[in-house]
Amino acid sequence: MPNSAHLTEYADLPVIEFPPSEAGDPAPYHPLPSSEELAAAVAAPESAAWRLRIDQFEAPRDFPAYFARFVAEVDTSRVRALVIGMWGDGYDTPPTVPRDLLIAHAEAFPSLRALFFGDIVYEENEISWIQQSDLSPLAGAFPALEELTVRGTGDHAVGDSVLDLHLPEHTGLRTLTVQSGGLPGRVSRGIASSGLPALENLELWLGVDTYGGDTAPRDLAPVLSGEAFPALRYLGLRNAEGVDDWIAVLAEAPVTASLDVLDLSLGTLTDAGGRALVDAADAFRHLRRLDLHHHYLSEETAERVRAALPGVGVDLSDVQTPRSHDGEAYYYTAVAE
């Protein structure tokens, strides 16, 4: 499961977690850096992606005090990458707390180029439970930011603490990723209507309808037309429950012709989608890579896809088997709840 372990690398840098002020009892899957590793990172802050994370069940839970200590003890003017993990209890400490702290201290991070907001694994909080907020002001506070990754879109059933990511203008952003168990069309429309002239990589986890994933092709129409992001070379429509239905759409979409990589992995691709790929192979033969891993294709259909796309690096690894309940087959994305 992609959200089963904390990041060990981000933006081509090793992740170093800034430790709490008091010795906690980290879970075995999440060791803190050794004193030597921490000292080396403090001496060269640009050499690491710094994770700021406090455990919701361990002291201290005061994220502002923890953040202030980080700014005081690390030369943040040299920090190139930040990873924001748990900021405490997601309800007692809303996502606006780390967001607003970063905005208020933006001048202290002039070298920041990559930001991961929400490095939260399922043992801490299911992806569909991660509270989020309007992150447009956060991205706007860092005009030199080149890479932004967000995990979680908020509880859309409740309507509070939900993600918004419409960026009227950001000339620096080259990579934008939103990981979710269900991506609402409202969020997709905000992204698709953003002004991101330098964007080369767009990765969206569409997820399932049960957790708010109602993004449809019409929500991404400006992207699919090729007009929204003219520099786009990688498009990921990942973790999608209805990925079969996207094949014909992508075959006709003008944006596909300019892509180097199309990523439809982590979803529920079945033989119906595989046959659609074969039938529309001409639209995809120019691709350098087509990522389909985590799929439900039969061996016969997988071979037909490979044969139809001989010059494309097609990833058909991680074959899944449908689960049967009362005689009916069920297909699951890699991440949902």
Q: What is the CATH number of the domain that holds 158?
A: 3.80.10.10
How many C-beta neighbours within 10 Å does residue 216 have? 14
Residue-level pLDDT at 30: 59
Q: How many domains does the chain have?
A: 2
| pLDDT level of residue 27 (50, 70, 90 thresholds) | very low
Q: Which of 156, 107, 154 minimizes the C-alpha distance to 135?
A: 154
Residues 230 and 247 occupy one common structural domain: no
Task: Report yes or no on 247 lying in a domain.
Answer: yes
Is the pLDDT at 275 greater than 80? The verdict is yes
- CA end-to-end span of the chain, whole Å? 12
* Structural domain includes residue 275: yes
Assess whether 21 and 92 both reside in one domain. Answer: yes
Q: CB–CB of 139/22 below 8 Å?
A: no
Asked if residue 18 and residue 127 are part of one domain, the reply reads: yes
Q: State pLDDT tens for residues 50-96.
A: 999 987 665 456 899 999 999 999 999 999 999 999 998 756 788 99
- Whether residue 2 is contained in a domain is answered as no
Give the pLDDT of residue 26. 45
Percentage with pLDDT > 90 across the chain: 82
Give CA 199 to chain center in angstroms: 15
Do residues 262 and 235 both lie within one domain?
no
The answer on pLDDT for 255 being more than 90 is yes
Q: Are residues 293 and 153 in the same domain?
A: no
What is the rounded CA–CA span in Å between residue 298 and residue 269? 10
**Are 250 and 228 part of one and the same domain?**
no
Write the pLDDT tens digit of every residue in 221-230: 999 999 999 9
Range of the domain at 273: 243-337
Together in a domain, 31 and 103: yes
9 pLDDT higher than 90: yes
Our measurement of the distance from residue 162's CA atom to the centroid of its chain's CA atoms, rounded to an integer in Å, reads: 15
Please tell me the distance from the alpha carbon of residue 58 to that of residue 42, in angstroms, as a whole number: 24
Residue 268, pLDDT > 70, answer yes
Where a domain ends, among 207, 227, 242?
242
For residue 54, the SS3 value is strand
pLDDT, position 65: 92
Average pLDDT for 5-25: 85
pLDDT (tens digit per residue) in 186-220: 999 999 999 999 999 999 999 999 999 999 999 99
Do 80 and 154 share a domain, yes or no?
A: yes
Residues 57, 166 within the same domain: yes
Rg of the chain on CA atoms, in Å: 21
28: pLDDT strictly greater than 50:
no
Segments of 144-191 assigned E as strands: 147-151, 175-179
Domain boundary residue, one of 242, 275, 306: 242
Which of 242, 272, 290 is a domain's end point? 242
pLDDT above 70: percentage of residues in the chain:
93
Q: How many CA atoms lie within 13 A of 156 on its CB side?
A: 22
- Calculate the average pLDDT of the chain: 92
